[in-house]
Amino acid sequence: MKKNIYPLTFTPVFKDYIWGGRNLESKFGRKLPPGIVAESWEISGHPSSPTRVDNGSLAKKTLLEVLDLLGLDLVGNHSQSMLDRGKFPVIIKLLDANSPLSVQVHPKDDYANKHENGELGKTEMWYILHSQPGARLIYGLNPGVTPDSFREHLEAGTLEKCLHYLPVQAGDAIFIPAGSIHAIMDGIVLTEVLQNSDTTYRVYDWNRVGADGKPRPLHIDKAMDVINFRQVEPGPYPVELLEENDHFKRECITSCNYFNVEKFTFKQENNLFKGDCNGSTFEIWGVVSGQGQINWADQPVDLSAIRFVLLPAALGEFEIKATSPATFLRIYVPTQS
């Protein structure tokens, strides 16, 4: 057994952006600081908001410090390129959209590297945890929108005529590749899996002001450089059934070069999944409904919705056990092409 290799849990970092609320507390029982909470960064190695380990021998160390200490034993050889850059590959967040987020877009890696001081691009996915009746997202464009017509509508204050609205409900998975124009609208709580980046280009912010009483900055020229105008009326990610047996149903709900996300549905108490972190990639498991347990080396980690655990790439064999009917998300880095 390697030193400091065990399932890692973290203390989240909270963000008080103006569109947040208290739904993580009222609907999911999370302990929150006073005031507005828009985002809970659950697992993060981003320099602006690194999360700290809250269990075991590495307690109080940031994920960046753990990455420096464990290297490939933490991330695995699928993430060698990210390790060479000193970056943990992904961030896991919870978002409470109590009012609409800005209409925005994220760049790809090459653009961000050139224009944002070597930052990564930002491809992400959303798993909807809760939605009010009639909830929807802005995702992609309507037919016929061009860069010229988009800018014309933006200047005329009629941008909504360009934007594709997608109704959503709990359990939907939405893949947001870099270049997607998007916005989370009000009445939605979701889990977000994303590249290790905080680069966002705002296009429109509903004419509101920030906490300082001033409009938040827009980044229209950069946004116009990176918007994918070929992305017309996209829908949810097409779920792929990977495996089904007496214990669980396993589905792929996002697959891309940066991360894969799988959904495990355990219908009964004591249903099991046996896995193996064999050095190729870390795995992040999160309980998004019900209760479960990570069993490894006689050191069980209990998880209740909504809670995530990071399994280092060198962990070896482990077991996921549902202690009630439960739904888990599993996040890992695929083989790099």
Q: Is 202 a catalytic residue?
A: yes
What separation in angstroms does the CA of 95 have from each of 46, 88, 121, 188, 330? 17, 21, 20, 8, 18
User: What is the spatial distance between Cα 173 and Cα 128, in angstroms, rounded to a whole number?
Assistant: 7
Number of neighbouring beta carbons within 10 Å of residue 276: 11
Question: Which residue, 12, 19, 23, 15, is CA-closest to 190?
Answer: 23
User: Cβ–Cβ contacts within 10 Å for residue 97, how many?
Assistant: 24
The first and second tokens of residue 92, run together, are 């896991």
Helix locations, the chain, DSSP H:
23-26, 63-70, 72-75, 80-84, 109-115, 147-156, 220-226
Buried b (16+ CB within 10 A) or exposed e, 211-232: eeeeeeebbeebbbebbbbebe
Chain center to CA of 50: 15
Nearest to 321 by CA among 275, 279, 282, 272: 272
Q: Could you tell me if residue 303 is left (phi over 0), alpha (psi between -120 and 50 degrees) or otherwise beta?
A: beta
Three-state SS at 41: strand
Residues composing the chain: 337
State the Rg of the chain over Cα.
20
Nearest to 231 by CA among 181, 192, 185, 184: 181
* Catalytic pick among 202, 250, 307, 330: 202
Which of 336, 337, 298 minimizes the C-alpha distance to 317? 298
Which residues carry out catalysis? Answer: 202
